[in-house]
Amino acid sequence: MKCLSTLCMVLVVCGSLAAQPPVTADRALAREILKELVEIPTTPAEGTTRAAQAVTARLLKAGFPKDDVQIITTEKNVANVVARFRGRGLRTPGVLLMAHLDVVPARREDWSVDPWMLVERDGWFYGRGSADNKAGAAMLVANLITLRRAQWQPARDLIVVLTGDEETSQRGIQSLVTTHRALLDADLAFNTDGGGVILRDGRAAIFEVQASEKIYADYQLEVTDVGGHSSLVRPENPIYTLSAALTRIGEHQFPLHVSDVTRMFLQRSAATESGQTAIDMRAVAAVPPDQAAAARLSRSPYYNAQLRTTCVATKIEGGHANNALPQSARAVVNCRILPGLPGADVEAVIRKLAGEKVQVTVLEAPIASPPSTPTPAMLSRLEPLVAKYWPGIPVIPLMQAGATDGMYTRSGGIPTYGVSAISENPEDVRAHGKDERVGVEPFYTATQFWLELMRTYGDDTH
């Protein structure tokens, strides 16, 4: 825009004020989109094509150019939406904003309400996907439309990605990050499908930022033998060999490793804890970490999972008759690997512990995904925003169990932060379960929070 008058000069000089008149999230629109999405079943069997079409129709109707709103079908029934809110070109690359359209199945007979209807009751929206993650998709789409209607334009591109198979193979995001990388030219991503505002005694206590995810891997352990009549006992027995291997794995403790994200998590969480736990958290966050404090903290499965890779036997089968020597015994060992450390090392440890007589097969290979350590620049914009909505609560980066689409954007080199901003009680998480729900006010608050987040980072040219 050229400046032709003094008034115009003043507006430009005033900068952000002139560029950013307040915009309020459109609650009715966000609710309407949430309702539309919940009422289109998007289980793996049904796919996400209809939901993707519904979303793109809305964006096109709101005036987004056809070329900027694309449905990318990565597999049969897996439709992903990539919508670009073109910026003024003041900075490239853009900012990625993520959610997913697919949901896990739900059976009407298991629920108190119809899972495929959005039911508003007692301050909650009920329905499959209401929390995970159609609330996120609805917020992003509603905000794109609201911001465009308000004639606001970001300084750099905002790229909304809604994937179609997050709950299953996550090949949609993998394909977008690799094959369709030009569409995802971002150097920062925010995911609605991670983090959250944690309630304690009904009050907002912590703003969680998912900055890292543990990496999933499955290994099969198998021992075979010729077998025989169980009256003629021989020393070799696959069940015994496998049991001994599993016992060694069970007794093994992977070494303590404190990443930068975990260090920030411990330092900031210590302020919300008291007594020995708070002391131990600070001691483990120190460099080098205090081993005795780490041992005490590790007694809690939750903190143990933050501090080290874990592997655990999850399935076992073997033998074929009560009166026969077993011909085979098999088990599955599931590992949750600390990100940033090579997964192959874990496989080597499992092989070594299993021993030579046990055949180890990789059932699900680990996928490298580096942690996204929050930078001061990122936090300097996020923290004031959080303080505006939830004054006084700490912003705590953490590693979650995984795995969301964020794993793949991180492994694709885009630092990714899960900041759903929806408040929830950690004792009553219903995602994937019966009577899934999201709070009505928390949904609207998060929608407004995300609108400001989109403006803040969309206008950030640093």
User: Whole-angstrom distance between the N-terminal and C-terminal Cα of the chain?
Assistant: 21
The residue behind tokens 């209401």 is: 130
Nearest approach, Cβ of residue 435 and Zn ion (Å): 17
Nearest approach, Cβ of residue 436 and Zn ion (Å): 11
Lookup: tokens for 380: 């300097």
Alpha carbon distance 208, 331 (integer Å): 35
Is residue 409 helix, strand or coil? helix
Alpha carbon distance 330, 100 (integer Å): 35
Q: Are 176 and 82 within 8 A, CB to CB?
A: yes
Alpha carbon distance 78, 60 (integer Å): 21
Closer to Zn ion by Cβ: residue 133 or 306: 133
Query: What's phi and psi for 55, nearest 5 deg?
Result: -70, -45
Q: Examine residue 208 and tell whether it contacts Zn ion (CB under 5 A).
A: no
Alpha carbon distance 447, 420 (integer Å): 10
Closer to Zn ion by Cβ: residue 170 or 298: 170
Closer to Zn ion by Cβ: residue 132 or 280: 132
Closer to Zn ion by Cβ: residue 132 or 157: 132
State which amino acid sits at residue 368: A
Nearest approach, Cβ of residue 400 and Zn ion (Å): 11
Closer to Zn ion by Cβ: residue 355 or 433: 433
Nearest approach, Cβ of residue 419 and Zn ion (Å): 14
Residue span binding Zn ion (CB under 5 A) among the ranges 28-36, 64-72, 105-113, 192-200: 192-200
The residue behind tokens 């609650």 is: 27
Site residues (CB under 5 A) for Zn ion, limited to 440-459: none
Nearest approach, Cβ of residue 166 and Zn ion (Å): 5
Closer to Zn ion by Cβ: residue 98 or 294: 98
Q: Examine residue 193 and tell whether it contacts Zn ion (CB under 5 A).
A: yes
Closer to Zn ion by Cβ: residue 132 or 460: 132
Q: Examine residue 460 and tell whether it contacts Zn ion (CB under 5 A).
A: no
Residue span binding Zn ion (CB under 5 A) among the ranges 69-77, 186-194, 206-214, 254-262: 186-194
Q: Kindly state the number of chain residues that form the binding site for Zn ion, as judged by CB under 5 A.
A: 3
Residue span binding Zn ion (CB under 5 A) among the ranges 133-141, 220-228, 246-254, 439-447: 133-141
Q: Examine residue 133 and tell whether it contacts Zn ion (CB under 5 A).
A: yes
Query: What's phi and psi for 371, nearest 5 deg?
Result: -65, 150
Closer to Zn ion by Cβ: residue 137 or 205: 137
Q: Give the one residue of 132, 157, 424, 459 binding Zn ion; rule: CB under 5 A.
A: 132
Residue span binding Zn ion (CB under 5 A) among the ranges 127-135, 219-227, 382-390, 407-415: 127-135
Alpha carbon distance 460, 445 (integer Å): 22
Alpha carbon distance 197, 100 (integer Å): 19
Closer to Zn ion by Cβ: residue 306 or 404: 404
Alpha carbon distance 274, 351 (integer Å): 41
Residue span binding Zn ion (CB under 5 A) among the ranges 38-46, 126-134, 195-203, 328-336: 126-134
Nearest approach, Cβ of residue 126 and Zn ion (Å): 17
Nearest approach, Cβ of residue 423 and Zn ion (Å): 17
Lookup: tokens for 320: 């074929």
Which residues 6+ apart lie within 8 Å of 368 measured at CB?
Answer: 215, 339, 342, 343, 411
Alpha carbon distance 444, 447 (integer Å): 5
Closer to Zn ion by Cβ: residue 194 or 289: 194
Nearest approach, Cβ of residue 431 and Zn ion (Å): 7
Q: Are 141 and 450 within 8 A, CB to CB?
A: no
Lookup: tokens for 255: 């070494």
Nearest approach, Cβ of residue 16 and Zn ion (Å): 34
Closer to Zn ion by Cβ: residue 221 or 431: 431
In the shown chain, the binding pattern of residues 36 to 75 toward Zn ion, with x for contact by CB under 5 A and - for none, equals: ----------------------------------------
Lookup: tokens for 231: 């009256």
Which residues 6+ apart lie within 8 Å of 347 measured at CB?
Answer: 217, 219, 360, 362
Nearest approach, Cβ of residue 86 and Zn ion (Å): 28
Nearest approach, Cβ of residue 311 and Zn ion (Å): 25
DSSP 25-74: --HHHHHHHHHHHHTS---TTT-SHHHHHHHHHHHHHTT--GGGEEEEEE
Binding site for Zn ion (CB under 5 A): 132-133, 193
